[in-house]
Amino acid sequence: MKIAIVTNYPSYHQVDLFNALALEPDVDLQVFYLRKMTPGRQWTELRKVEHRHEFIREIRWHRHFYLNPGLTAAVDRFSPDVLIITQYASLGMQWLMYRSAIKGQTWVYWSETPGVKFSELPIFGSNTLRLLARRLALLPLRIARPRAVWGIGRRAVEAYTCVSAVPCENVPYYSDQSEFRAIKRGMPNSPLRFLYAGKLNHRKGFDLLVQAVERLSSLRSDFQAVVIGDGPERELLEHYDERTRARFSFRGFRELAEVPGEFAAADVLIYPSRYDGWGMGVVEGMASAMPVIASRGATSACELLSHEKTGLLFDPGDVDALAGCMLRFLDHPEDVLEMGERARQAAAALSASEGASAIAQRARGIMGL
């Protein structure tokens, strides 16, 4: 069974999954990457790509707009039984959708919920233009008739069900959790260490964490907010008093290989994102046996976290609720280990090996095998 996947760039969780999928006994996999990296990413040390792949030449004339003139010929040379396309905004993938329909090619669309709220790199400044462009870009799902649509999370399934009449299934992101699952947990640190991992920007909700820490610092001094990552909102702390600033420990940007060590040294992960199409950090925190305090703005949090069992959920932008969740663990540090272990168990369903089996099985079903 020949499976071709066309995707944007070799993001680490996709590389993990594709490496595992290539090991499935009846799968002949070829991945076509359209870019080496996307704007805003700081990683310089990426996962080793151990599956057959090809980087298609990119012609760029804008931060968001680019062409890959060799893409169609490359896909044709491989001649897949099933073609999986992972974006609607790429011009090359748009062309592949229409062309696959014309040729009668079996293709599947697999992506996050359409549209990114609070995007730091919007394509259009006008909301009207964004909605119009999105409607046009999603048109192939309606008229080019993919064999199936795979939404990354239930929100994506609901959104694409309104766009396309073909079956839509929940196929989330999967990744190699081994480095996180190898972390050994003992008693929580004293003072308790809350970890924020990600960009320091509005969409990720770093400002909400700063405000929550300010409120807590007037009540408690037995905690630290450890921050890994960088971004424009780091300067926010300059406007707060010394008591608030003293609660923060900035570790700076970390390469992928350094992240598990930072997770191992913390007790509770905080994921206050106002919006995330998925949010891999939630899964990694859970796999690390940490309870996660997460906003319902992150799809992965809504999919995976069980409130008061594997972590705590709060509504996007609710600073009081975030501070209350943090206080909950400060008052009951004995819950950290128990919740964290349940979180680790829940995250196991999204390992790369589980994902490879699930995708191979779905492809077999599409082929009638």
Q: Based on the fold, state whether residues 219 and 300 are members of the same structural domain.
A: yes
Looking at the structure of the chain, the number of domains it has is: 2
- The answer to whether 292 touches 353, Cβ cutoff 8 Å, is no
Q: Based on the fold, state whether residues 194 and 165 are members of the same structural domain.
A: no
Q: Based on the fold, state whether residues 126 and 185 are members of the same structural domain.
A: no
Average pLDDT of every residue of the chain: 92
Check residue 67 and give its pLDDT. 84
**CA–CA distances in Å: residue 234 to residues 22, 35, 133, 179, 279:** 41, 29, 33, 28, 21
Q: Based on the fold, state whether residues 161 and 33 are members of the same structural domain.
A: yes
Q: Based on the fold, state whether residues 151 and 284 are members of the same structural domain.
A: no
Amino acid in position 207: D
Q: Based on the fold, state whether residues 28 and 148 are members of the same structural domain.
A: yes
Q: CA angle 310-151-161, nearest 5°?
A: 120
Nearest by Cα to 248 from 308, 196, 184: 196
Check residue 125 and give its pLDDT. 67
Q: Can you give the residue range of the structural domain that contains 126?
A: 2-176+351-367
pTM: 0.92
Q: Based on the fold, state whether residues 260 and 306 are members of the same structural domain.
A: yes
| CATH at residue 363 | 3.40.50.2000
Check residue 47 and give its pLDDT. 84
Q: Based on the fold, state whether residues 13 and 143 are members of the same structural domain.
A: yes
Amino acid in position 353: S
Mean pLDDT by 10 residues, the chain (369 residues): 95 95 97 80 78 92 77 96 93 92 94 80 71 88 92 95 91 96 96 96 96 95 95 86 93 92 98 96 98 97 96 97 98 97 97 97 91
Which two structure tokens, joined as six digits, stand for 78? 């491989």
Q: Based on the fold, state whether residues 93 and 221 are members of the same structural domain.
A: no
Check residue 66 and give its pLDDT. 75
- The answer to whether 30 touches 55, Cβ cutoff 8 Å, is no
Check residue 100 and give its pLDDT. 93
- The answer to whether 24 touches 356, Cβ cutoff 8 Å, is yes
Report helix, strand or coil for 259.
Answer: helix
Query: What sign does the dihedral 36-349-264-178 (CA atoms) show?
Result: negative
Check residue 91 and give its pLDDT. 86
Check residue 238 and give its pLDDT. 83
- The answer to whether 208 touches 317, Cβ cutoff 8 Å, is yes
User: What is the residue-wise DSSP string for 36-96?
Assistant: S--TT---SSPPP--S-EEEPP-EESSSS-EE-TTHHHHHHHH--SEEEE--SS-HHHHHH
Q: Based on the fold, state whether residues 99 and 213 are members of the same structural domain.
A: no
Q: Based on the fold, state whether residues 15 and 116 are members of the same structural domain.
A: yes
- The answer to whether 38 touches 199, Cβ cutoff 8 Å, is no
